[in-house]
Copies of this chain bind each other. A is one copy, B any other.
Amino acid sequence: MSREIRAAAGAPTLEDVARAAGVSRATVSRVINGIRNVDPAIQEAVKQAVEATGYAPNRAARSLVTRRAETIALVVSGAADDSEPERSAFAGRVFADPFFGRVVAGVAEFLRPRSMYPVLMFAETPADREQVVSYLRQGSADGALIVSTHADDPLPALLASAGLPAVLFARPSTPLPMSYVDLAHRDGARLAAEHLLARGCRRIATITGPLDLPAGQERLAGFRDVMARNGFPHVPVAEGAFDQESGEAAMDRLLTEDPDLDGVFVANDVMAQGACHVLRERGRRIPEDVAVVGFDDSAVAPACRPPLTTVRQPVEEMAAEMARLLQNHIEQPGRAEALSVIFEPELVVRESA
């Protein structure tokens, strides 16, 4: 009824199981690793012995010989000056945007059936980045999934030149021989612009993401593209930083520039939420006076009042694909070529537009 499970101290080893089953270590190893060519009877005996001894294979010993950690790192990578005073809050700031939670969820979901779990790393300073490289070089993880928060993040290049397997979320701002997943940002922005136009808006502005980020540029480009094609060669633009505060400030500027605007495309949901607050404080009804379209379809979108119409980015699937790509690179060291997988966005209509 009660299985004997000895404490970690004198944990049973392959040797113990072998003795209990009356076979050799090699044979036990074979059945544990599911290698065929093992007599069914012996297989059964071994399984019983495993059960009886409460055996659990030792990860370190296995890794030492297979040269695989069976672990991957998920690193959120910033690029602050060393001087930045409040660097310690980086990890905290990161999760203020539900976006990163979705990345974690997507990766974890993909890994779980493989009995793997991501190691979470935050890298902001040069020292942090060295730590990430060290971690991988020590074989603590077989590869890394990188999500950069800044355009000039040096980590991807560092990893590339060290020949360490890595996959990026979003195209790097300077070309690199690395696989990445990304979204068709332009298409997403087009969806937003067309929706705003279709519902009758004629004085439309946009709040962009950081314009040094490809995602920021492309969402703007796609938006402008549609607007220009529809007879609006000039649209008011305010740059934000993907956080709520900058969204509020940007909305403020836009409203000053054109008090009569009737539509805004905001480059992410968190900023859109901020924009909505400012709009309502200035007495605008949403969407009657001003229609708002966000981007991401993160947790804040449905939580907003009114619920946000937004462009869905399938972050979880993108994250899972990242993990899949990384797996390939790990399994074929050097052999696998750098790929990019681009996902299509989708308009999610709620009430804000």
Residue among A9, A108, A274 having the largest count of chain B Cβ atoms under 10 Å: A108
Chain B residues closer than 8 Å to A118, beta-carbon distance: 119-120
Please state if A139 and B60 are interface contacts (CB–CB under 8 Å). yes
Q: Which of A71, A131, A140 has the most CB of B within 10 A?
A: A140
Interchain CB contact (< 8 A) of A101 among B74, B95, B273: B95
- List, in ascending order, chain B residues with CB within 8 A of A140's CB: 59
Residue A5 at the B interface, CB < 8 A?
yes
Q: How close is A203's CB to chain B, nearest CB, in angstroms?
A: 25
Q: A274-288 vs B: 1/0 string, CB under 8 Å? A: 100100110000000
- Please determine whether A60 and B69 come into contact, CB atoms closer than 8 angstroms: yes
Residues of chain B lying within 8 A (CB to CB) of residue A333? 7-9
Inter-chain CA distance A334–B60, complex, in Å, is 22
Cβ A117 vs Cβ B115 within 8 A: no
The contact size tier of chain A is 35 or more
CA gap between A82 and B61 in the complex, in Å: 34
- Give the residues in chain B near A73, CB-CB below 8 Å: 117
Q: A92's closest neighbor in chain B, by CB? A: B105
Q: How far is the CA of A135 from the CA of B104 in the complex (A)?
A: 19
A residues 106-131 near B (Cβ < 8 Å) are: 108-109, 112, 115, 117-122, 128, 131
Q: Kindly identify which residue among B95, B102, B109 contacts A105, using a CB–CB cutoff of 8 Å.
A: B95
